[in-house]
């Protein structure tokens, strides 16, 4: 980019030291570049003149051309107003001023033609405009195009720095640079039919037409995302080429025997595809770092098991780590049953494994006798040493920090392959940005025969009918979850709600067994209560969100979520995933009070309309913004994009990603002469930023 954009903003015509200080403080604008990339947040249309008789409905600000016919002052003292009737031959409209009465009355001449600009509002079934912008109409005054409106702060307004001022400064700025150097290679401009940078910057500030504005926006969004991706991929590439990994190039007896004799059901196409991706990745000779996304119930466990068998076939051990003891125990039960016939030795290690058992596990691990170790955080401890660990599978990733993953890397001389499984879908655009080159596999298909969970919203005054429904389901022999939110700030009160709920449920369903779980319980007690439900020794579980992760009780058919308005979308979806695991029709009942904000109402509506975790995730990102999504905080990426929006511009993210990765494939360090401009622009954009992509 031209050197001139680095100039201090105080040198721009119309700025000077005082304004420069204000711009720096209020808008973080320090240089010409900062100013040029301070884009309008919306536009007003001055490209056409409306007729008064056509004014209808809720219109934005519009332009009218005509004459003032009458003026009248109304009210007294501070409440004095000026009313005028404005006519264009097609009709009249009232114009009102609440201040500057005297000045307006003196400056506006009856009979002279003016162009006025403002928003018509309906009052007492008549349209009026208050405080319009006014210009004298000149014979050859062309209708202007769109005008950008810039965000201002209170302080700026007080110092009379208006949107119009900024507009003027942008004009001065653009006039002072004859030609803004192009930053994208010609092939990319041509392939994606992008507007040139110079033209785009002019049109983003002073669009000639809606069409040109849209092309300018596309170009600048692409630009922003392209350089972001280029930066991410450049570091990811150099990281990948450095870290060697085990080469699993064999498929042997473990895998084949399992596939031929013990596969519990035919794989779904998505499972097949994902296993292929994992196998290919582990065969490359570099360390795999893969995220496996699949909605709750999509069959990730089976993928994990088959990946582990590939490790075994190549002479290595594998380990599966789960975030809770319950989940680890369940995995252990499922996996050891699946692998019984193929002669794989599996063990379980958790915080409550007895010393004597632990000793056996330790020695079998180091001798290599043990093939797969399943467990909790207990596996991370330094005393747990493997003979030859080749693959680590981490279930429900978001409970695991980067530091913990790093611990597993150290369990072998060469870091083992890592497969992280998560049931919290992340929109693809976000995954590409946050995880850089962490490869992503997606199971986007549920096993056949699943009945989608029916989700309904019920208000507190429907409670009796909800209880009746629960009663019917209990009679059918099903189990019920009832979940309460816990909000940190007022734990005591929350706990009382939960306990009250528990008492009411016991009274309402006296002939059924109710268990009770919350996060503040001692782990042993919590486990005991959970096991009651898992083994169908309890029919109803009243709980806080501790059940969110992983428990598998196919007989549970109803999930009641109390105060559903207090949960986020991701959490609601996770909770709902606890039901719908068996053959029966399942239900999720969202209980809430009736006073809901617009966003909350939308959130709950999304839940009742779709079971698809990816749609839920997209909606979640639209509501909360990418910066607040699960897992993005630690990423260190700034989501303060100037113009692109990860939630809305998914397609552009993909295009930018493709374009960037093609370039990085051919020239990882951007040293080729044709990529010199790109390298310089990257330096210019990211020089201050730390190399965060190494973290993921
Ligand atoms: P999650 O992805 O949530 O971890 P699980 O691996 O626990 O899902 O699988 C959910 C359920 O679906 C389990 O009961 C499992 O046995 C079953 N399942 C997995 N794969 C298939 C398949 N290909 N066909 C039928 N059922 C399957
Ligand atoms: Mg699972």
Yes or no: say if 460 and 591 are a contact pair by the CB < 8 Å rule: yes
pLDDT in tens, 306-334: 999 999 999 999 999 988 787 898 899 99
Mean pLDDT check: name the lowest of 123-137, 186-200, 281-295, 547-561. 547-561
Q: Which residues of 479-490 are buried (b: 16+ CB within 10 A; e: fewer)?
A: bbbbbbbbeeee
CA-nearest residue for atom 10, ligand 1, is: 297
Q: Is the pLDDT of residue 468 over 90?
A: yes
The helix (run of H) or strand (run of E) holding residue 263 is none
Q: Is the pLDDT of residue 197 over 70?
A: yes
Ligand 1 touching residue 31 (CB < 6 A): no
Kindly give the interhelix angle for 210-242 and 650-666, rounded to the nearest 10 degrees. Answer: 50
Q: Compute, in angstroms, the gap from residue 400 CA to the centroid of ligand 2.
A: 15
Q: Is the pLDDT of residue 368 over 60?
A: yes
pLDDT in tens, 51-62: 999 998 777 788
Choice from 301, 583, 613 to test ligand 1 binding pocket (greatest atom count within 8 A of CB)? 301
CA-nearest residue for atom 19, ligand 1, is: 299
Average pLDDT of span 222-231: 91
Closest ligand 1 atom to 552 CA: 7
Q: What is the pLDDT of the chain when averaged over all its residues? A: 87
Is the model more confident about 19 or about 492?
Answer: 19
Ligand 1 touching residue 296 (CB < 6 A): yes
Average pLDDT of span 572-592: 90
Closest ligand 1 atom to 266 CA: 23
Q: Which residues of 105-130 are buried (b: 16+ CB within 10 A; e: fewer)?
A: eeebeeeeebbbbbebeeeeeebbbe
pLDDT band at 550, cuts 50/70/90?
low
CA-nearest residue for atom 20, ligand 1, is: 299
Query: Residue 83: CB partners within 8 Å, gap ≥ 6?
Result: 71, 72, 73, 74, 94, 95, 96
CA-nearest residue for atom 9, ligand 1, is: 299
Query: Residue 423: CB partners within 8 Å, gap ≥ 6?
Result: 293, 294, 295, 296, 300, 396, 574, 577, 613
Q: Which listed ligand is nearest to 396 at the C-alpha? A: 2
pLDDT band at 437, cuts 50/70/90?
low
Closest ligand 1 atom to 304 CA: 6
Work out the number of other CB atoms within 10 angstroms of the CB of residue 671: 9
Distance CA 613, CA 114 (A): 56
By DSSP bridging, strand 372-375 and strand 417-422 are: unpaired
**Four-residue CA torsion sign, 398, 401, 406, 407:** negative
pLDDT band at 634, cuts 50/70/90?
very low
Q: Compute, in angstroms, the gap from residue 296 CA to the centroid of ligand 1.
A: 9
pLDDT in tens, 637-667: 555 678 988 777 878 888 998 899 899 989 9
Q: Compute, in angstroms, the gap from residue 446 CA to the centroid of ligand 1.
A: 8
Closest ligand 1 atom to 267 CA: 23
Counting Cβ atoms within 10 Å, is residue 522 exposed (0-12), middle (13-18) or buried (19+)? exposed
Q: Compute, in angstroms, the gap from residue 447 CA to the centroid of ligand 1.
A: 7
Q: Compute, in angstroms, the gap from residue 435 CA to the centroid of ligand 1.
A: 26
Ligand 1 touching residue 267 (CB < 6 A): yes
**pLDDT value of position 609:** 94
Distance CA 46, CA 140 (A): 15
Choice from 273, 292, 295, 297 to test ligand 1 binding pocket (greatest atom count within 8 A of CB)? 297
Which residue's structure tokens are 């990339």?
A: 37
Average pLDDT of span 416-430: 80
Average pLDDT of span 233-251: 78
Share of the chain above pLDDT 90, in %: 51
**pLDDT value of position 513:** 96
CA-nearest residue for atom 23, ligand 1, is: 267
Q: Is the pLDDT of residue 424 over 80?
A: no
Yes or no: say if 102 and 86 are a contact pair by the CB < 8 Å rule: no
Ligand 1 touching residue 322 (CB < 6 A): no
Yes or no: say if 551 and 334 are a contact pair by the CB < 8 Å rule: no
Q: Is the pLDDT of residue 402 over 80?
A: no
Q: Which listed ligand is nearest to 302 at the C-alpha? A: 1
Mean pLDDT check: name the lowest of 218-227, 336-345, 526-535. 526-535
Q: Compute, in angstroms, the gap from residue 131 CA to the centroid of ligand 2.
A: 61
Q: Comparing C-alpha atoms, which of 217, 185, 189 is closest to residue 203?
A: 217
Which residue's structure tokens are 């040493």?
A: 385
**pLDDT value of position 87:** 95
Choice from 295, 298, 447, 450 to test ligand 1 binding pocket (greatest atom count within 8 A of CB)? 447
Q: Compute, in angstroms, the gap from residue 602 CA to the centroid of ligand 1.
A: 30
pLDDT band at 128, cuts 50/70/90?
very high
**pLDDT value of position 694:** 37
Q: Comparing C-alpha atoms, which of 455, 453, 466, 326 is closest to residue 395?
A: 326
Query: Residue 669: CB partners within 8 Å, gap ≥ 6?
Result: 234, 238
Ligand 1 touching residue 299 (CB < 6 A): yes
Q: What's the token pair of residue 696?
A: 């993921």
Q: Is the pLDDT of residue 210 over 90?
A: no
Q: Compute, in angstroms, the gap from residue 222 CA to the centroid of ligand 2.
A: 37
Q: Compute, in angstroms, the gap from residue 573 CA to the centroid of ligand 2.
A: 14
Distance CA 510, CA 474 (A): 12
Ligand 1 touching residue 108 (CB < 6 A): no
Distance CA 32, CA 8 (A): 6
Q: Comparing C-alpha atoms, which of 683, 656, 622, 677 is closest to residue 220?
A: 656
Closest ligand 1 atom to 395 CA: 4
CA-nearest residue for atom 25, ligand 1, is: 447
**pLDDT value of position 280:** 94
Q: Which listed ligand is nearest to 296 at the C-alpha? A: 1
Ligand 1 touching residue 302 (CB < 6 A): yes
3-state SS string over 567-633? CCHHHHHHHHCCCCCCCCCCEEEEEECCCCCHHHHHHHHHHHHCCCHHHHHHHHHHHHCHHHCCCCH
Alpha helices in 243-354 (DSSP H): 253-257, 269-282, 300-313, 325-339
pLDDT band at 477, cuts 50/70/90?
very high
Mean pLDDT check: name the lowest of 118-132, 140-154, 467-481, 494-508. 140-154
Which residue's structure tokens are 């007989």?
A: 555
Yes or no: say if 114 and 88 are a contact pair by the CB < 8 Å rule: no
Q: In whole angstroms, how far apart are CA 8 and each of 1, 12, 24, 375?
A: 15, 8, 10, 58
**pLDDT value of position 490:** 62
**pLDDT value of position 238:** 63
Q: Comparing C-alpha atoms, which of 523, 549, 554 is closest to residue 536?
A: 554
Average pLDDT of span 115-140: 86
Distance CA 637, CA 696 (A): 11
Distance CA 212, CA 201 (A): 11
Closest ligand 1 atom to 577 CA: 3
Ligand 1 touching residue 306 (CB < 6 A): no
Ligand 1 touching residue 423 (CB < 6 A): yes
**pLDDT value of position 692:** 37
| Full set of structural domains in the chain with CATH | 2-43+151-208 (no CATH), 48-143 (2.40.50.140), 454-610 (3.40.50.300)
Distance CA 55, CA 41 (A): 25
Q: Comparing C-alpha atoms, which of 274, 649, 658 is closest to residue 444?
A: 274
Distance CA 93, CA 68 (A): 10
- CA–chain centroid gap for 244, Å, is 32
Yes or no: say if 274 and 443 are a contact pair by the CB < 8 Å rule: yes
């Amino acid at each position: 980019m031209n050197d001139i954009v680095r100039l201090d903003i105080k040198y721009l015509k119309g700025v000077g030291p005082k304004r420069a200080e204000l711009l720096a403080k209020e808008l973080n604008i320090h240089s010409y570049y900062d100013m040029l990339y301070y884009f309008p947040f919306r536009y007003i249309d001055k490209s056409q003149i409306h007729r008064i008789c056509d004014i209808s409905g809720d219109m934005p600000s519009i332009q009218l051309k005509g004459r003032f016919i009458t003026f009248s002052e109304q009210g007294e003292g501070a409440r004095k107003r000026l009313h005028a009737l404005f006519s264009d031959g097609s009709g009249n409209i009232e114009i009102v001023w609440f201040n500057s009465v005297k000045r307006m009355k003196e400056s506006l001449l009856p009979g002279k033609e003016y162009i006025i600009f403002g928003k018509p509002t309906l009052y007492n079934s008549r349209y009026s405009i208050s405080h319009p912008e006014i210009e004298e109409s000149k014979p050859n005054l062309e209708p202007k195009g769109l005008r950008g409106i810039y965000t201002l702060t209170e302080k700026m307004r007080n110092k009379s720095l208006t949107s119009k001022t900024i507009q003027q400064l942008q004009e001065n700025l653009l006039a002072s640079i004859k030609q803004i150097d192009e930053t994208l290679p010609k092939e990319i401009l041509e392939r994606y039919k992008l507007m040139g940078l110079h033209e785009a910057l002019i049109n983003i500030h002073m669009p000639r037409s809606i069409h040109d504005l849209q092309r300018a926006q596309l170009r600048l969004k692409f630009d922003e995302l392209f350089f972001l991706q280029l930066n991410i991929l450049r570091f990811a590439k150099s990281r990948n080429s450095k870290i060697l990994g085990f080469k699993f190039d064999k498929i042997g007896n473990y895998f084949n025997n399992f596939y031929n004799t013990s596969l519990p059901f035919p794989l779904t196409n998505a499972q097949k595809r994902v296993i292929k991706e994992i196998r290919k990745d582990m065969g490359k000779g570099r360390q795999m770092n893969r995220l496996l996304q699949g909605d709750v119930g999509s069959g990730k466990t089976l993928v994990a098991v088959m990946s582990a068998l590939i490790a075994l076939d190549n002479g290595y051990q594998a380990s599966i780590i789960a975030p809770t003891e319950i989940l680890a125990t369940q995995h252990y039960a499922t996996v050891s049953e699946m692998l019984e016939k193929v002669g794989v030795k599996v063990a379980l290690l958790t915080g409550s494994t007895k010393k004597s058992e632990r000793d056996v596990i330790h020695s079998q691990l180091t001798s290599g006798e043990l093939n797969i170790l399943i467990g909790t955080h207990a596996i991370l401890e330094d005393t747990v040493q493997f003979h030859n660990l080749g693959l680590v599978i981490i279930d429900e990733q978001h409970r695991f920090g980067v530091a913990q993953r790093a611990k597993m890397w150290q369990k072998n001389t060469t870091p083992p392959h890592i497969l992280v499984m998560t049931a919290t879908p992340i929109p693809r655009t976000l995954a590409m940005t946050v995880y850089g080159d962490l490869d992503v596999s997606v199971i986007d298909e549920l096993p056949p025969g699943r009945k989608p969970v029916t989700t309904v919203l019920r208000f507190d005054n429907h409670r009796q009918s909800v209880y009746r429904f629960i009663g019917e389901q209990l009679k059918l022999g099903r189990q019920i979850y009832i979940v309460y939110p816990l909000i940190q700030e007022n734990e005591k009160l929350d706990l009382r709600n939960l306990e009250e709920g528990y008492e009411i449920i016991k009274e309402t369903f006296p002939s059924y067994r109710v268990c009770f779980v919350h996060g503040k319980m001692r782990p042993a007690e919590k486990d005991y209560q959970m096991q009651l439900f898992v083994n169908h020794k309890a029919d109803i579980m009243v709980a806080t969100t501790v059940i969110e992760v992983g428990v598998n009780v196919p007989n549970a058919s109803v999930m009641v979520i109390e105060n559903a308005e207090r949960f986020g979308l991701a959490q609601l979806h996770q909770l709902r995933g606890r039901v719908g695991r068996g053959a029966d029709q399942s239900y999720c009942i969202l209980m809430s009070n009736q006073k809901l904000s617009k966003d909350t109402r939308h959130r709950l509506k999304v839940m009742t309309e779709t079971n698809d975790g990816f749609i839920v995730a997209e909606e979640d990102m639209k509501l909360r913004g990418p910066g607040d999504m699960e897992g993005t905080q630690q990423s260190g990426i700034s989501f303060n994009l100037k113009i692109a929006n990860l939630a809305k511009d998914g397609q552009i993210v993909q295009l930018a990603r493709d374009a960037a990765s093609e370039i990085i494939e051919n020239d990882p360090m951007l040293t080729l002469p044709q990529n010199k401009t790109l390298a310089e622009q990257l330096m210019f954009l990211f020089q201050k930023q730390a190399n965060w992509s190494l973290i993921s």
